[in-house]
Structure 1
Amino acid sequence: MKKNLAIAAVVAATFASASYAQSSVTLYGIVDTGFTYTTNVQGKANYAVTSGNVQASRWGLRGVEDLGGGLKTIFTLESGFNVANGQQNGGLFNRQSFVGLTQEQYGTLTLGRQFDSMMDYVVPMTAVGSWGGTYTAHMLDNDDLNGTFSLNNSIKYASPNLSGFKFGGMYAFSNQAGGFAMNRAYSAGMSYDYAGLRLGAAYTQINGVNANGSGSVQGSPLANTFGGTNDRQRNWGAGASYAYGPMIGGVVFTQSRLNDSFGNSVRFNNIEANLRYNLTPALGIGAMYTYTNANGGVINAGTNSNSAHWNQFGLQADYALSKRTDVYLEGVGVWGAGQNAAGITQVGYQGSDNFSGSKNQGIVTTGIRHRF
């Protein structure tokens, strides 16, 4: 009898251990902070300790449970924060909060607060999404390639890898009774990878981007700069990147357009080229250039005579102290010209509250980044 009980205990412990091994929860994050010098902040220089200079500081929980037959439950809860003052950026899980199912043959379906298809299929080919980070975002982050906002109430599908081809789409509900089409969003994209070549394209549309309530998104960099309360924002982009040995380069075109209920609009076109080269396994250098032009009517001003353009250059050196920790030195400059489009009287860097008093501005930042 005692022998049978011992065998049963061993079998039960084995099954419990196997069941536990099929589920996991991972704590992860990025802590990025440093010292930043900004020129021409309303005519003066600014010196500051800043957070998220290359990547937004964040922490999160990621989990998976194996349901059998290749089907798994997954979830992600992710929060951004400011290292310099310890404050949280918005709600508790302000970056992402979703749960869903994934299966290798059929893809992944998730529900919650998530990034759009531009982040999934276009951003990886840009400097802001690969090595350059926050300050290499396009003017005002008008196309949201720096992930300034996520989409609430969203259902998202991502296909499996089909011989290098991937596609996906999402729909974000307004959650408003009697306002189904107000403050909703939809997005779709695709990519193709072959050897070192990557191609990608995506589109996102948000209706009522500045609407109040519990809709898909409340505000965006473009809408916050110009918007009213019933704006429609459309972002789309396409690009390519190629990796060869220690070198990787990319070219991307994006357009963002904001329309209000009075028929006024503003349009930004962004053309970017970027290149990164690893001099050694630990030391990498990168360079980027973006040309941005904007035109359209001033919101609520009823004129279509305004246009402007900007040239943006960025350089970065990054040295890995370990697999998780690196130090960096980065400089980015923007030079504007022409009549200021759509009421823009300043240039400035997304992620920074330090806007220039003129059409020109430069930033030099150095810091340390740790991943866990």
Structure 2
Amino acid sequence: MQLKRRFSLAVLAAAAGLTAGAAQAQSSVTLYGQVDAWAGATKNLGQDRAWGVNSGGMSTSYWGMKGSEDLGNGLKAIFTLEAFFRPDTGKSGRFDGDHFFARNSFVGLQSNSWGSIKLGRNTPPYFVSTILFNPFIDSYTFSPMVFHTYLGNGRSGAAGISGLVGDSGWDNSIMYSTPDMGGLTANLIYGAGEQAGHNGQNKWGGSLLYFRGNFAATAAFQQVRYDGAPGDLNSLVAGFSRQTAGQLGATYDFGVVKLYGQYQYIKNTISTGDAKSNGGQLGVSIPVGPGAVLASYAYTKTSGAADVKRNTWAVGYDYSLSKRTDVYAAYFRDKVSDLSTADTFGVGIRAKF
């Protein structure tokens, strides 16, 4: 859990336009985030090795603000603004040209009895299920499951659509989440294309999350008809019109070891022939001293319009210096069919605030 620094903002009657004697609502704003940088070497699929200092070894660096106002009767107004950045260069975003508030940017309402609704740019439930049920969580550097789900495999054409299209944040979206029902929550999201001439171009999905004692499980689904903008799937592969994906995941913490498992199915609807991917991930987290040994293996086979096999594994150790700061070392290895093997290794530090 992230440790957050909280501070309260008094709601002034004059600023709010309230008359004397009117009741003031209670509000708060939280500033939080994390900085993650690492040093090591990366050899991408089919490329040469490069050494350097990079950002986002275990987690993508970001900062954010979120706030709420108590409206009474268990109802709150809420907002969240979260921006990625790269500490190795000081640049904003995950990459050049990224949205400023790319992680989340929404406003909404939250109720103790009926849940929450959020409008803006939201993190889709499928992404949350992906990162919660593998030991390397949201690492775009060392997590095999993140690579198989969100990063390309170095191939072109239909063979290169090995994971999801549509990004890990959805613009122009509305998301509903139920309240906790005995450990079970449900989430639904819809993203509008918002372009004339592209009716029916949208994104939608949902998930179930269950946490009870040492056991947790998830089921997630999403369907997208565009990547960054309506009509752009055809530019990735001629005749590509829709992608559907489903995932199941579970964890169990035995104390001496925590087990992770995921299964994933992706179907790319292409006029010249569909491409289907089946695969999953198995992983462990083993407490050792003030940290944990992490290990994960992922496998995906794509068939139909393309035949590609991908095998990826990673090992690492994450050492906690405090509740907010940890250091880590990890090795990652990736193999895709006939391409040369890729690997990454390095050490890093992550500080949360």
Structure 1 length as normaliser, TM-score?
0.78
- Percent identity among equivalent residues? 28
> Counterparts of 1:259 and 1:370 in 2: how far apart (Å)?
42
The question of 1:311 aligning with 2:322 is answered: no
Comparing both structures, which one devotes a greater share of its residues to helix? 1
> Counterparts of 1:70 and 1:24 in 2: how far apart (Å)?
16
Q: 2:119 aligned to 111, 114, 127, which one?
A: 111
Contact 1:289 1:313 in 2 (8 A): yes
Question: What CA deviation, in whole Å up to 9, does each residue of 1:136-192 have, x standing for no partner?
Answer: 1233634459x943111111110111111111211111212343312x111011122
Match in the other structure for 1:7: none
The structural deviation recorded for 1:27 is 1.2
Match in the other structure for 1:198: 216
The structural deviation recorded for 1:316 is 0.9
SS of corresponding position for 1:123? helix
Q: 1:360 aligned to 295, 317, 341, which one?
A: 341
Note the 1:318-337 alignment, pairs <5 A. Answer: 318-337=318-337
Match in the other structure for 1:369: 350
Match in the other structure for 2:278: 269
Match in the other structure for 1:127: 135
Question: What CA deviation, in whole Å up to 9, does each residue of 1:192-227 have, x standing for no partner?
Answer: 2221111110101111335458xxxx77xxx99x53
Task: State the 4+ residue runs in structure 1 displaced beyond 6 angstroms.
Answer: none
Match in the other structure for 2:155: none
Question: What CA deviation, in whole Å up to 9, does each residue of 1:280-308 have, x standing for no partner?
Answer: 2x2211111111111232xxxxxxxx412
Note the 1:136-151 alignment, pairs <5 A. Answer: 136=143, 137-139=146-148, 141=151, 142-144=162-164, 148-151=167-170
Match in the other structure for 1:352: none
> Counterparts of 2:246 and 2:57 in 1: how far apart (Å)?
25
Contact 1:114 1:154 in 2 (8 A): yes
Name which of structure 1's ranges 226-235 and 308-317 shifts more when overlaid on structure 2: 226-235
Match in the other structure for 1:10: none
SS of corresponding position for 2:307? strand
Note the 1:1-372 alignment, pairs <5 A. Answer: 19=24, 22-39=26-43, 42=46, 44-89=48-93, 90-129=98-137, 134-136=141-143, 137-139=146-148, 141=151, 142-144=162-164, 148-182=167-201, 184-209=202-227, 211=229, 226-228=236-238, 231-260=241-270, 262-280=271-289, 282-297=290-305, 306-337=306-337, 358-372=339-353
User: Structure 1 residues 227 and 76 mapped into 2: Cα distance closer, same or farther (>3 Å)?
Assistant: farther
Aligned length: 316
Contact 1:100 1:109 in 2 (8 A): yes
Match in the other structure for 1:6: none
Structure 2 length as normaliser, TM-score?
0.81
Question: What CA deviation, in whole Å up to 9, does each residue of 1:25-45 have, x standing for no partner?
Answer: 111111111112124775532
Alignment root-mean-square deviation, CA:
2.6
Q: What letter is aligned with 2:66? A: R
Contact 2:46 2:342 in 1 (8 A): no
User: Structure 1 stretches of 5 or more lacking a match?
Assistant: 1-14, 298-305, 341-357
SS of corresponding position for 2:126? helix
> Counterparts of 2:344 and 2:63 in 1: how far apart (Å)?
26
User: Structure 2 stretches of 5 or more lacking a match?
Assistant: 1-19, 152-161
Contact 1:289 1:312 in 2 (8 A): yes
Q: What letter is aligned with 1:368? A: I
User: Structure 1 residues 63 and 210 mapped into 2: Cα distance closer, same or farther (>3 Å)?
Assistant: closer
> Counterparts of 2:204 and 2:124 in 1: how far apart (Å)?
8
